[in-house]
Structure 1
Amino acid sequence: MTAITASMVKELRDRTGLAMMECKKALTEANGDIELAIDNLRKSGQAKAAKKAGNIAADGAITIVQDGNKAILVEVNCQTDFVAKDENFSNFAHTVAAAALAAGETDAAKIAELKLADGQSVEEARIALVQKIGENIQVRRAKIVEGEQLAIYKHGLKIGVVVSYTGDADTGKGIAMHVAAFNPVAVNAEAVPADLIAKEKEIAEAKALESGKPANIVEKMVTGSVEKYLNEVALDRQMYVIDNEKKVADVLKATGTNVANFVRFEVGEGIEKKAELSFAEEVAAAQAAAK
């Protein structure tokens, strides 16, 4: 049987990024054949990734990469905030975002097939990272924004905004910060999706009818409720985050700035999370997963 040396373990660790003990075990099982050890580790990584796929990945980070007049927002999910802050996770997210922007791709399934500089596909890199970190990791969504001028704002790891605009650069940055804070639905009332307005109108009508007031009064109540809703969700009607005595529309007009569109991503939007486990339940779950 081939003796497993420290230099062999180090080489395998450098090539895979896995822990020393895991590398030594893989080399022992492969009788010192590094290439076979790597193949075996990849297979075990695929099995581990498949096992982890059922775990809800609702944490993670928003990554933004810009290239000239284009920028991409990518949400990559993991299971815990601890992993979201891990350098390996951050590097993976940035690499994926850069590759997706270069390819002009925003479909998560197609992003998984993209080839990276080292020859791996995004999916192969994801599986390797799951094996290394031990959590379910998923590339959830991506969106490309193009424009004559782009303003980018990130609030920690969890919120990312890209605004396409023309005009004053400081105002553009301020609008990106505002979008992160106030989460508007659209640039103006005219751009608010019709289905959202219809839903709000339906809710307002139900409430107004409960009042028992005449039809003409009910109609005015509904109109007022819808108008209030539009004031809350249309960017130009909101009070500006930097100067809450002014509406965004007034700030844009005063600075000669025009917002074409924006995209805001927040980690975990729309993902249904499981109720938090007690410490005892977490220990039991960890023991079950280790079997």
Structure 2
Amino acid sequence: MAITAAMVKELREITGAGMMDCKKALNETNGDMEAAVEFLRKNGQAKAEKKAGRVAAEGLVKAVIKDDKIAAIVEVNSETDFVAKNEEFQTFVADVANQALNTSSTDTDTFLGEAWLADTTKTVKEVLTEKIAVIGENLNIRRFDKIEAKNGCIASYIHGGGRIGVIIEADTDMINDDIKAALTNVAMQVAALSPKYVSRDEVSAEYMEHEKEILKAQAKNENPDKKDDIIDKMIVGRLNKELKEVCLLDQVYVKDGDLTVAKYIAQVAKETGAKLSLKRFIRYETGEGIAKKEENFAEEVAKQMGH
């Protein structure tokens, strides 16, 4: 069968693959469009496997909220910041976030095996593989979380074009623009100061004991002549100071240094006449915890030239 330019164009629009790849796929499958798509997907998978060894530590965090009640946050990684700014990649991340908003999966493996909402003939993993082939970098859907507010509402904040993302849930008997604006302000606080807990109630006894041990060792090193009872009093003060940094409600509110976050929430509740309390937050930072490959460009060039 004669392969026309129109057929190549159509296949390219369907798959996003290169012109020569599309032409080859059509030749191999005797012009059968569906078989050609399948051929490219298989070819794309081979490319994806080849790229799977590369470290994907850049990328984007995206959050979506439905009806102020259901929210999802995802992190999708790429190898370079350049691709993270690519419109096709950004659209894909938005689609992944929408998938997460509608998923019943609680782990990434199950999520990757789900039918893709925009085309249920493919799985999420298959669409990811196609994107790797088209974009030309190793990509990774690293993680997602979904929360539902049964007795309140959810707000989100994305910082640095997708570098950091936060979703935050509050229990409240009133949902209006003032409440949502306040929660967005608190989400910004979480993005900026990265607390570990909402309140001291969430801090485990193990964490407290571990920190006390560290602080005691520090205090003894700094003050070798001081008695244990004096050291113990010093530790109480230092532990309180640390808890003010790791507990959101204890933190100094970034937009008003005279308030803690707890006092800010109480102020908003009083002004709006609402019952308002922070329940939980999820904070993602792109690439956190991923060991990035150190590239030596000069060495790489020398290697390529056989030196």
TM value normalised by structure 2:
0.86
Q: How many residues align?
A: 286
CA contact (8 A) 2:100 2:145 kept: no
1:232 aligns with 2:245: yes
Instruction: Indicate conservation of the 8 Å contact 1:145/1:263, yes or no.
Output: no
Pick closer, same or farther for the CA change 1:183–1:135 going to 2, 3 Å.
same
Change (3 A) 1:149 1:30: same
Q: For structure 1, which segment, 11-20 or 37-46, has the greater mean C-alpha deviation from structure 2 after superposition?
A: 37-46
- The unaligned stretches of length 5 or more in structure 1 are none
Q: 1:150 aligns with which of 154, 161, 168?
A: 154
Instruction: Supply the RMSD in Å over aligned alpha carbons.
Output: 2.1
- Of 250, 265, 287, 1:268 maps to 287
Q: Which stretch has the larger CA shift, 163-172 or 115-124? A: 163-172
State the partner residue of 1:136: 138
Name the residue aligned to 2:272: none
Residue 287 of structure 1 and its aligned partner are, at CA, apart by: 9.3
Q: 1:149 to 1:7 in 2, by over 3 A?
A: same
- Where do 1:205-244 residues align within 5 Å? 205-210=216-221, 211-212=223-224, 213-244=226-257
List runs of 5+ in structure 2 lacking aligned partners.
270-275
The amino acid of 1:272's aligned partner reads A
* Range moving further from structure 2, 126-135 or 190-199: 190-199
**Equivalence for 2:45:** 46
- Determine the C-alpha separation between the residues in 2 that align with 1:286 and 1:96: 37
Q: In structure 1, what is the equivalent of residue 273 of structure 2?
A: none
Counterpart for residue 210 of structure 2: 199
Matches within 5 A, 1:58-137: 58-68=57-67, 69-116=69-116, 117-118=118-119, 119-137=121-139
SS at match of 1:244: coil
Task: Say which SS state the counterpart of residue 115 (structure 2) adopts.
Answer: coil
CA shift digits 1:140-184 (9 cap, x unpaired): 111112221111111121111111113633211211111111111
Distance 1:253 1:174 in 2: 14
Identity of aligned residues (%): 44
- 1:20 aligns with 19
Counterpart Cα distance in 2 of 1:218 and 1:189: 23
**2:277: which partner in 1?**
258
Give the CA deviation at 1:283: 4.7
- Whether the 8 Å CA contact 1:186–1:234 is kept in 2: the answer is yes
Compare 279-288 and 28-37 and name the one that shifted more: 279-288
Residue 47 and residue 231 in structure 1: after superposition, are their counterparts in 2 closer, same or farther (change >3 A)?
same
Structure 1 pair 115/285, CA: closer, same or farther in 2 (3 Å)?
farther
Is contact 1:78–1:84 with CA below 8 Å preserved after alignment?
yes
Q: Distance in 1 between matches of 2:168 and 2:228?
A: 42
TM-score (norm 1): 0.91
Contact between 1:45 and 1:128, CA under 8 Å: does it hold in 2?
A: yes
